[in-house]
Chains A and B, each alone.
Chain A
C-alpha cells in the first residue's frame, strides 16, 4: 500500500490516518463505518435509451448476506459488473472493499470473489488446475495456493472430483467449483450471480448452508443475486428487490413483509375427515366467523381453506374464533396457522405498487 497523493481540502475531512501513520486510499474513500464493504451512490447504467440500472443506492456490510432479487433483465448482472469494474457506470459511483472499481479495478478484484452467471471452466483442465490458475492470477505462491485450494474444494464438497477434467462435471458441480474459485483468493467480499440456478434442491440447501458458515466464520460480505426468490429467502440477512434497474424495497424479509404486506391476516385452516360434498358448508361456517372477510375453498378436501381476516385485526383472536366455531360444529380441526407472506408474494406486490415496472422490465 502506498501513500496517496495530497488530498484536496474538501476530502481532507474524510481522511483518517492508519495505525502506521500513513494515509491509505481506502481510509480516504471509505465511509465512516469501516464494516461497509459495498456502497453504491446513484449508480446508473444506460445502454442507449435503455436504462439498465437507475440511481442505485446500496450498502452491504461485513458479515452480512445481501440478496439482490429480481427477474431476469432487471439489471442485477449489470450492477455486479459495475461493482467489479468490468463495466463503467454511466453515472454515480461505487466503492467495493474500500476502492472505487472504476479507478482501481485491480485493488477491487483482488479482494472480491466473483461467481459469474453461468460460470465456465477450461474444459481440458481439471477442477484443481482451474483453481490453481486463478490462484496464480491472484499472486498466491504455489504452496499457499495448494493449501488454499484444498480448503475451498473441501468447503464446497468437491474434493473427490477435483482431479477430473471439468468437461465431465454436471452444471451443479461447475457451480460449486465456481464458488470455490471465487473463494480461492481469500476475499473480503463475495459476489455471486445466480449461485443456485442449475443446482438440485438438496444441493441448494448445502450451498446456502456453506455460504452461511463462511460468512459466520470469516466475516465476509456477500452480495448474491437471484431470481429464485424463495430459495434464497432463508439465507439472506437482508434483501433488495430489484425491478427495471431500480431498488424498490430493501430490508429483512420481515421488514419487507410489513412494507409490502396486504395488511390483512391470512390463515390456513385444515380439517380431518372432510368429504368433497362438505366443502361448501364448511366454507360457509368459516365465513360466518366474526372477523373473517373471505374464504377460499380448496379443490381437494385434504387441502386447507385460506381465510382472510379483516385489516388491522389481531390474528390470534381470529384463530380463537375459528377454533371455537369448529368445535361447535363438530368439525375436526387438523391445521390452523397464520401464513407469513413469502418473498414471492412480497415481490409480486412490490411490482404491482410500481406502475411502470412491468412495462420497464418487459422492455
Chain B
C-alpha cells in the first residue's frame, strides 16, 4: 500500500506497508535446504564411500565370474543381471551387489534421518523454523523428501556405474528386459530405503536425544537387516508355530510366514525375483512341493511375470513405509514446540 508515500508522517500503517511476497510451498524450501545440507555433510561422504564399496568390490568378483560364465555358455540369458547377483566362487554371500545393498541401504536410511527432528530441537532451531510461515508438517515432509532424494540419487549413480562398467569394460549389453529389471530393482530399493528413512524419522521425533535414537536405530537395523540375527529369531518363532505341521511343505510355509514379518525378508525375496529371471517362485511351499518343483526346473520368467510374483511384497513394503511415516507425522504434529 503506497498511500502514505508523500506524507511526512514517520508513523506508517503497520500492516501492508508493502505487498507481502507470495509464499512458496514450505516443504519444498525445507527439502531444498536439507538436500544441500546432506550433500555437504560428512555422512554423505560416508554414504558415497560405503555404496562405492558396495558397487566396486562385488563388481570385481562378479566380473571375474562373468567371464567364466560367458565362456561356458555364450548367449546365456541375463548375463547383464549377473553383475548384480553373482558372488565370488566360494566367497561370502555378502559380496554380491544385491546382498550388500540389502544390508547397507537400511543403515544409510537411518543414518540420514535419525537426528532430523531431535537435532533441530537440540540446536534450538525448531521454534524458529516453526515460527516461519510454513505448516508444521512441511518440516517433516521436507526432511523425508530430502532424505529420499539424496538416497535415490546415490543409488541411481551406483547402479549406473555398475551398468556402465558392465557395458564398457566387459562388453555386456543389456536387453530391454534387463534394463527394465534393473530399474525396477532400483525403485524397489529406493522404496526399501524410504521405509528406513521413515523409521529413522519416527525415532527422531519420539526420542529426544540424537545419540539415543541413533543407537536404537542401529540396534534394530542389526536385528532386522543382518542375516543370522533377526532371521534366526523369527525362524525359532516360526518353528514354534510350525510344530503342528504334517508335511514338510506346510512346515516350510509357516517358517516363511514368520520370516516375512521382517521387511528385510520381503526386500530380499523381491530383489532376488526381479534380478534373476530364473527365480520362478518366492513361495517356500512351492519349492517343497515336488509337483511345482518339476515345473520350475530350468524355466525363466519374463519381466512382467517376475513383477507379478513380487507385487505383494512391493505393496507391503509401501504400506510399511507409509505407516512408519504416518506414525512419525502424527507424533510430530502433536508435540509441544518448546524444548
Interface check A54, CB cutoff 8 A = no
Cβ of A358 < 8 Å from any Cβ of B? no
Closest to A122 in B: B125
Which of A103-111, A236-244, A335-343 has 4 or more CB atoms under 8 Å from chain B? A103-111
In this assembly, does B131 line the interface, its C-beta being within 8 Å of a C-beta of chain A?
Answer: yes
> Considering only CB atoms, which chain A residue lies closest to B132 in the complex?
A137
Give the distance to chain B from A309, nearest Cβ to Cβ, in Å: 41
Contact with A along B1-35 (1 / 0, CB 8 A): 00100000011111101101111101001101100
| Interface pair A119/B124, CB less than 8 Å apart | yes
CB distance from B250 to the nearest CB of A (A): 54
A114 to B124 Cα, complex, angstroms: 13
In the bound complex, do residue B21 and residue A138 qualify as a contact, i.e. CB atoms below 8 Å apart? yes
- Interface range on chain B (Cβ under 8 Å from partner): 35 or more
Question: Which residues on the B side are within 8 Å of A185 (C-beta)?
Answer: 132-133
Contact A116 B23 (CB under 8 A): no
Is the CB–CB distance between B124 and A37 below 8 Å?
no
Q: Taking the complex as formed, is B134 at the interface, i.e. its CB lies under 8 A from any CB of chain A?
A: yes
Q: Is the Cβ of A188 less than 8 Å from the Cβ of B131? A: no
Q: Name the prevailing secondary structure of the A interface residues.
A: loop
Q: A141 CA to B20 CA in the complex, in Å?
A: 11
Asked whether A34 lies within 8 Å of B131 as measured between CB atoms, the reply is no
A120 at the interface (CB under 8 A from B): yes
Task: Return the CB mask of A175-189 against B: 1 if under 8 Å, else 0.
Answer: 000100100011011
A96 → chain B, closest Cβ, in Å?
A: 11
User: With A97-B15, A216-B10 as given contacts, are A141 and B21 in contact (CB-CB < 8 Å)?
Assistant: yes
Contact A111 B15 (CB under 8 A): yes
Per the bound structure, the CA–CA distance linking A37 and B194 in Å amounts to: 44
Residues on A with beta carbons closer than 8 Å to the beta carbon of B26 = 137
Contact A112 B131 (CB under 8 A): yes
Q: Which of B30, B131, B336 contacts A84 (CB 8 A)?
A: B131
Choose one: B21, B123, B338; the contact of A139 (CB below 8 Å).
Answer: B21
By the criterion CB–CB under 8 Å, are B15 and A26 in contact?
yes
Contact yes or no, A110 B20, CB < 8 A: yes
Determine if A109 and B14 form an interchain contact, defined as CB atoms under 8 angstroms apart. Answer: no
In the complex, A123 has a CB within 8 A of chain B: yes
**Interface on chain B toward A: helix, strand, loop, or mixed SS?**
loop
Partner of B124, one of A109, A120, A186: A120
Q: How far is the CA of A26 from the CA of B13 in the complex (A)?
A: 14
Any chain A CB within 8 A of the CB of B40?
A: yes
Binary CB contact string for chain A from 218 to 239 against chain B (1 if under 8 A, 0 otherwise): 1111000000000000000000
**Interface: A168 (CB within 8 A):** no
User: Is B130 in the interface zone, CB < 8 Å from A?
Assistant: yes
Q: Taking A120-B128, A122-B125, A137-B133 as contacts, is the C-beta distance between A37 and B14 under 8 angstroms? A: yes
In the complex, the answer to whether B123 meets A138 with C-beta atoms within 8 Å is no
Whether the Cβ atoms of A109 and B133 lie closer than 8 Å is yes
Contacts A109-B132, A139-B24, A178-B128; A219 near B12 (Cβ below 8 A): yes
Per a CB cutoff under 8 Å, which of B3, B14, B40, B128 touches A188? B14
B15 smallest CB distance to A (angstroms): 5
- Whether A188 pairs with B15 at a CB distance below 8 angstroms is yes
In this assembly, does B337 line the interface, its C-beta being within 8 Å of a C-beta of chain A?
Answer: yes
Any A CB within 8 A of the CB of B304? no
* Contact residues on A (Cβ < 8 Å of other chain), bracket: 35 or more
The residue on B at minimum CB distance from A184 is B132
A77-B20 contact in complex given A37-B14, A124-B37, A178-B128, C-beta closer than 8 Å:
no
Residue B331 at the chain A interface, CB threshold 8 Å: no
> Is A35 touching B14 in the complex (CB atoms < 8 A)?
yes
User: Least Cβ distance of B36 to chain A in Å?
Assistant: 9
Partner of B130, one of A86, A133, A139: A86
Decide if A110 touches B128 in the complex (CB within 8 Å): no
Assess the B131–A217 pair: CB atoms within 8 A: no
User: 1/0 per residue A74-85: CB within 8 Å of B?
Assistant: 000100010010
Interchain CB contact under 8 A, A181 and B128: yes
From the candidates A119, A136, A181, A219, name the one contacting B29 in the complex (CB within 8 A). Answer: A136
Q: With A and B bound together, what is the CA distance between A122 and B132 in angstroms?
A: 15
How distant is the Cα of A286 from the Cα of B123 in the complex, in angstroms? 58
The answer to whether B123 and A106 have CB atoms under 8 Å apart is no
Contacts of A105 in B (CB 8 A): 135
- Residue of chain B at shortest CB distance from A216: B10
Q: How far is the CA of A352 from the CA of B329 in the complex (A)?
A: 46
Considering the chains assembled together, what is the distance between the CA atoms of A112 and B14 in angstroms? 11
What separation, in Å, do the CA atoms of A116 and B338 have in the docked complex? 9
Please give the distance in Å from A257's CB to the nearest CB on chain B.
Answer: 28
Instruction: Let me know if B312 is at the binding interface, CB within 8 A.
Output: no
> Given that A87-B337, A124-B37 are known contacts, is A144 also in contact with B128, CB under 8 Å in the complex?
no
User: A123, A139, A217: which contacts B10 (Cβ < 8 A)?
Assistant: A217
Q: Which residue of B lies closest to A115 (CB)?
A: B128
Which of A86, A111, A114, A120 meets B123, CB within 8 Å?
A: A120
Instruction: Check A138/B132 contact, CB under 8 A, given A111-B15, A122-B123.
Output: yes
The 8 A CB mask of A149-188 against B (1 = contact, 0 = none) is: 0000000000000000000000000000010010001101
Asked whether, in the complex, the Cβ of B29 is within 8 Å of the Cβ of A106, the reply is no
The distance from the CB of B42 to the nearest CB of chain A, in whole angstroms, is: 10
CB distance from B31 to the nearest CB of A (A): 12
Quick one: which of B21, B24, B134, B337 contacts A144, CB cutoff 8 A?
Answer: B21
- State how many angstroms separate the Cβ of B104 from the closest Cβ of chain A: 25
Set A97, A98, A186: member contacting B18, Cβ < 8 A: A186
Interface residue ranges, B against A (CB under 8 Å): 3, 10-15, 17-18, 20-24, 26, 29-30, 32-33, 37, 40-41, 123-125, 127-135, 336-339
Residues of A within 8 A of B (CB): 19, 26, 34-35, 37, 62-63, 77, 81, 84, 86-87, 97-98, 105-107, 109-112, 114, 116-124, 133-134, 136-141, 144, 178, 181, 185-186, 188-189, 216-221
Q: Can you list the 10 inter-chain pairs with the closest CB atoms, starting with the nearest?
A: A120-B124, A110-B133, A116-B127, A62-B14, A114-B131, A137-B132, A139-B21, A188-B14, A139-B23, A109-B133
Further 15 A-B residue pairs, CB within 8 A, beyond A86-B127, A139-B20: A37-B15, A62-B11, A81-B338, A86-B130, A118-B339, A119-B127, A121-B125, A124-B41, A137-B129, A137-B134, A138-B23, A140-B21, A141-B21, A181-B128, A189-B14
